[in-house]
Structure 1
Amino acid sequence: MTENPSHILVVDDDDQVRRMLRRCFEDEGYRVSEATDQAGVETALENGVDLITLDLNLGRTDGLTIARSVRQSWDLPIIMITGKGDMIDRIVGLEIGADDYIAKPFHLREVLARVRSVLRRSGPRADAPASGPPASIAFDDYVLDLDRRALRGPDGDIRLTSGEFDLLALFARHPHRVLSRDQIMDLLKGHDWAPNDRSIDNQIARLRKLIEANAREPRLLKTVRGAGYCFTPQSLQA
């Protein structure tokens, strides 16, 4: 067991699932707390939590409501657990800031792999008590100011359209994760987009010209052939 194990909050109204996840995480050396509703989540968060696994289909409480509430006051990773067909809930959950999702039925080895991956990506947050939401995200030589909706580079502010800012903020919140074009469109525009809408591709092309040393050989906003796009900064701090 590590000296300062990460603290995982398991939110699920199914006693069997909670016990199974608790046993799985504790066997790997993590600290574990449990909650079944909003009140339980709030109590646990006051004691410091590093990551939440959140079942969206809670009996008495809407999991998306809990996710929104957490995001308003806390900056910590959330992994959603959803039913296999709950695509709309997954999209909404990612849109409000969830870091990943796991579809039921799941394998415990997959859950552990995703938890480890998210904790690694979350950096210092994994070993420290949760704090308030970040005002900015720094990556490589840039700072994305979420309050001012501005991007600052080595030579000062970089002018972005509203759509370009939202797109870059989306990538910055999901670093080193491949996002398909459809996922990006759903997260940014909901269902209000047409299959022939190429605005995302145009915005990515413009962002590359603004933040890449060589837009033709992108290092930050990479194309993953046949899969989508991936934001791959060398350093990232929220």
Structure 2
Amino acid sequence: MKFKVLGSVGVEVGGQFHSVRGAQQRALLAVLLVNGGRMVPAEDLYTELWGDDPPLTVENALQAHVSRLRRTLHEWGPGQVALLARSTGYALEFPGEDLDMNVFRRRAAQARAVMEQDAGRAAALLGQCLQLWRGAPLQDAAKGPLCQSVAVQLGEEHLMATEDKLWLDFECEVPSAIGELKRLSVVHPWRERITEILMLALYRCGRQAEAIETYHAARGRMVAELGMEPSPQLRERFLDILNQAPVLPVQPPAPAPELVRAP
């Protein structure tokens, strides 16, 4: 039995995905999963499941949802997980490797550890972890504050992994890498890391003029629409490319600091 949160929330059994019925049921499973076996206070669960409008008998309602979820999980995988009641809350005990979120994070970390030494291996690992995604994380359960914050964090991690993968694809001479970087720069116009990676990729394949134009287009858009200058990191990269600096990064650049508002 494998748990899924990188998309709609549910359980995979024998290669078949099962969605948990009911918004409260899904929210309950989601918050227990993203807490990784740690106890979640009942008060936090009230907020995740009902927000600011809990039922009058909220304690009984939560207990009923816990019982239903426990039965459902037992039907799908008898004895594989334990939904435990504590004195002040609930916890779901399950093997960490059975949650797609954990597998994604582990493989992404492994990829970054070998990125400098073995670009092909790193690209393969990132490809594997990106294939785990089936849509927006926690997409049908992220209404409460805890799940919303996790969903935002996972979305950022997914975008960073995608950026790293595209850079490595360029390093490994995948023909579509620059085209995909251009597409991503349109989808995420304020994402400076994408702009920087695209500039570097263009420059390193002999397209200096396009790299310079990419910077000017991004800067013009930021100043006109946000009233902000690009970060010092992006400006420095532009000057490196403009002056044909002898040493430019061989690894994807780190995320830039926050943008600086234009005077």
**Pairwise TM-score range, normalised by the shorter structure:** 0.3 to 0.5
Q: What's the TM-score, normalizing by structure 2? A: 0.32
Larger RCO (alpha carbons 8 Å, 6+ apart): 2
